[in-house]
Amino acid sequence: MKKNLPFLIAEIAQAHSGSIEKAHDYIDAVATTGVQAIKFQTHIAAAESSIHEPFRIKMQTEDKTRFDYWKRMEFSLPQWKELKKHCDKLGLEFMSSPFSNAAVDLLEEVGVKRYKVGSGEVNNFLLLQKIALTKKPLILSSGMSSYEELDKTISFLKAHRVGFSILQCTTSYPTTPENYGLNVIQELKDRYKVPVGYSDHSAKIETGIAAVSLGAEILEFHVKLNNQEIGPDASSSLTIEEASILVKSLGKIIKATYPPVDKNDNSQYLELKNIFEKSLAVNKNLKAGNVLTFNDLEAKKPKGYGINASEFQEVIGKRLRRDKNQWDFLTLDDILF
């Protein structure tokens, strides 16, 4: 059985800093990495926020409030359509997380294939209802949710016949190893019986490799153009070069695990087995009629020049038919049975 790469999503979020030109630069860069999808976030400040929303990370920008920041991150419908057109041209699936019902309406006009719901929206049943009405599948990040909360959300999605998958995600920037929660990947698989993936904020190549090795079928990770980027997610992001290394490494991991090595068939190793495996020999000069003991035996390469070393117990207690010199191979013709 051949297995393909997991569904790989390069998360841009607000790395474009509100610049449509930079957003297009990200599409060009991500297209070189080998991922299948690029994901933005669709923010409509008036629909999702207010002047009372606190900053997650206070940045050195001109934004006086978090609302002002989201306003600066907005793109117009024509701009979103151009971004999607650019993605289509380069063979990338365009994705964007909505943070309001108004954003879903916009993305429907842009024409998305599926939705990604961020960790902060798991309990936003109004938004989930809006997405359910599109009859499109969604990917759900589980970052800040307990199982009790997730159970309610999953029940809601099932009741509305929404096709969904779940990502293990730890909502901290950057995530440290003790908080990766890689163990949760299998827990989610066992609990919900749906495709499960991993949303990474560690900025480490090895985290994605580990997640896929543990069964993640979707892998989302933040990217940045280079290490000079200073956006709110920069410390949690892989560079474009690192993302390319990750994708290539995952390809090797997939090849290493699918199809599995068939331990019932070692025919491909016959030549090597003859080189590395061993034949029985005697470790001292022995006379004809000598009764062989364990202490008379040695095993020497290559295989096939004497009795197989694995069969040494068959010769212990047997007499020699002829004299043998030290280090001679021991053959069946040398033994009186």
CATH number of the CATH domain containing 302? 3.90.1210.10
For CA atoms 279, 283, 287, 292, the dihedral sign is negative
Q: What single letter denotes the amino acid at residue 332?
A: L
Q: Are residues 24 and 142 in the same domain?
A: yes
> What CATH number should be reported for the domain holding residue 157?
3.20.20.70
pLDDT, position 244: 98
Neighbours of 27 (CB within 10 A): 21
Region for 289 from its dihedrals, namely left if φ exceeds 0, alpha if ψ lies in -120 to 50, beta otherwise: left
Q: Are residues 18 and 74 in the same domain?
A: yes
Q: Are residues 164 and 303 in the same domain?
A: no
Expressed as residue numbers, the domain containing 279 is 267-336
Q: Are residues 109 and 249 in the same domain?
A: yes
Q: Are residues 226 and 317 in the same domain?
A: no
Question: What does residue 18 show for φ and ψ, rounded to 5 degrees?
Answer: 85, 5
pLDDT, position 174: 72
Read off the pTM.
Answer: 0.84
Would you say residue 219 lies in a domain?
A: yes
Q: Are residues 216 and 311 in the same domain?
A: no
What's the CA gap between 3 and 84, in Å, rounded? 28
Would you say residue 2 lies in a domain?
A: no
24, 30, 36, 40: CA torsion to nearest 10: -50
Would you say residue 167 lies in a domain?
A: yes
Domain final residue pick, 223, 257, 291: 257
Dump pLDDT digits (tens) for 23-70.
Answer: 999 999 999 999 999 999 999 999 999 888 887 666 666 788 889 999
pLDDT, position 173: 65
Indicate the number of domains in the chain: 2
Would you say residue 171 lies in a domain?
A: yes
Would you say residue 61 lies in a domain?
A: yes
Q: Could you tell me if 15 and 39 are in contact, meaning their C-beta atoms sit under 8 angstroms apart? A: no
Dump pLDDT digits (tens) for 146-199.
Answer: 999 999 999 999 999 999 999 998 766 677 888 889 999 999 999 999 999 999
Question: What does residue 112 show for φ and ψ, rounded to 5 degrees?
Answer: -95, 155
Q: Are residues 115 and 189 in the same domain?
A: yes
